[in-house]
Amino acid sequence: MPTLPDSGFNRVAPFYDSLARLIYGDALQKAQLHLLPFIPDQSKVLVIGGGSGWLLEQLILTGKQLAVLYLEAAPGMLTRAEAKYKSITQPHACQITFRLGTEAALQPHEHFDCVITPFLLDLFPPKRLQQLMQKLSAALTPEGRWLFADFWPVQQPAPWWQKVLTFGMYTFFGAVSGVEAKKLPDYSRHFQELDFREIATRPFYGGFVQAKVFERVNLSQKT
C-alpha cells in the first residue's frame, strides 16, 4: 500500500504526547491555550496537524460555537483525535469534521476565519513550507486570523540549550517520522512574503516556544 503523504507521525502516535510532555512539561499546551481567546465566536476554524486531539477538546471547552475542520496527515493521530472527541460527554455547540490528509485535501471553496498551525510549520524545508503556507493563506478569509504555536527562539542567535533541543528533535523525527527540515524555518520571512503581520505574541519555555497571532497587513493597518 502506498504511504500517505506526510504520515510519518503515525509511527510515534502512540507515545508522541507523553514524549512531548516529558521534555517540555505543559509548555506546548500552554502556548496553544494562549491562542484560543483570539478565536471569535461562530467561526469556521481549520486545525491542521493537531495530532491526537488534545487541542480539539480545548476548543470545545471554550464554549464557543465553532465549525472545525480537523485535518491530520497521520491516520494514527486522527483516530486518536476522533476517539477523544467521542469521549467528550458534555453538551457543546461545536461541529467537528475530521479529515485525513494534508493541505492538499483542502477544497478551493473552503474558507476559514481562523487557521491553527500547532507545532506544524517547523516540519518543512523552506520551499515546501512556502507552498503549504500559500495554501493556508488562500484558505483564510481576508479578515482571518492565523494562530501559530511553534519552536521559534526569541533570542537570536538561540542559546546553546535551545540549539541542542532543536538538533535532537530534527535528528529523532527525521529518522523516525521522515521530517525533512533540518533547521527551524525563518518564519518571519514566510509570513512577511504572504503579507501577514503579527498582532499578538507570547513566549513559553524560556523563549524557545512562541504563540503568535497573525492578520493580513492591510487589515491591521485599517484597525
Ligand X SMILES: C[S@@+](CC[C@H](N)C(=O)[O-])C[C@H]1O[C@@H](n2cnc3c(N)ncnc32)[C@H](O)[C@@H]1O
CB 75 → ligand X: shortest distance, Å? 9
Which one of residues 45, 49, 147, 185 is an interface residue with ligand X (CB under 6 A)?
Answer: 49
Which one of residues 34, 51, 205, 215 is an interface residue with ligand X (CB under 6 A)?
Answer: 51
Which residue type sits at 190?
H
Q: Does 59 bind ligand X (CB under 6 A)?
A: no
Q: Tell me the CA distances in angstroms from 90 to 21, 68, 94, 99, one per residue in order.
A: 26, 17, 11, 23
Q: Does 103 bind ligand X (CB under 6 A)?
A: yes
CB 217 → ligand X: shortest distance, Å? 25
CB 118 → ligand X: shortest distance, Å? 4
Q: Does 72 bind ligand X (CB under 6 A)?
A: yes
Q: Which of positions 144-203 make contact with ligand X (CB under 6 A)?
A: none
Distance from C-alpha of 139 to C-alpha of 46, rounded to nearest angstrom: 9
Q: Does 60 bind ligand X (CB under 6 A)?
A: no
Binding mask 106-145 for ligand X (x = CB under 6 A): ------------xxx--x----------------------
Q: Does 96 bind ligand X (CB under 6 A)?
A: no
Which residue type sits at 154?
V
Burial class (CB in 10 A: 0-12, 13-18, 19+), 219: middle
Burial class (CB in 10 A: 0-12, 13-18, 19+), 33: middle
Distance from C-alpha of 200 to C-alpha of 34, rounded to nearest angstrom: 10
Which one of residues 24, 50, 113, 212 is an interface residue with ligand X (CB under 6 A)?
Answer: 50
Neighbour order of strands in the sheet with 112-118 = 95-100, 67-72, 44-48, 112-118, 140-151, 209-216, 196-204
Give the footprint of ligand X on this chain (CB under 6 A): 6, 9, 20, 28, 48-51, 71-74, 77, 102-103, 118-120, 123
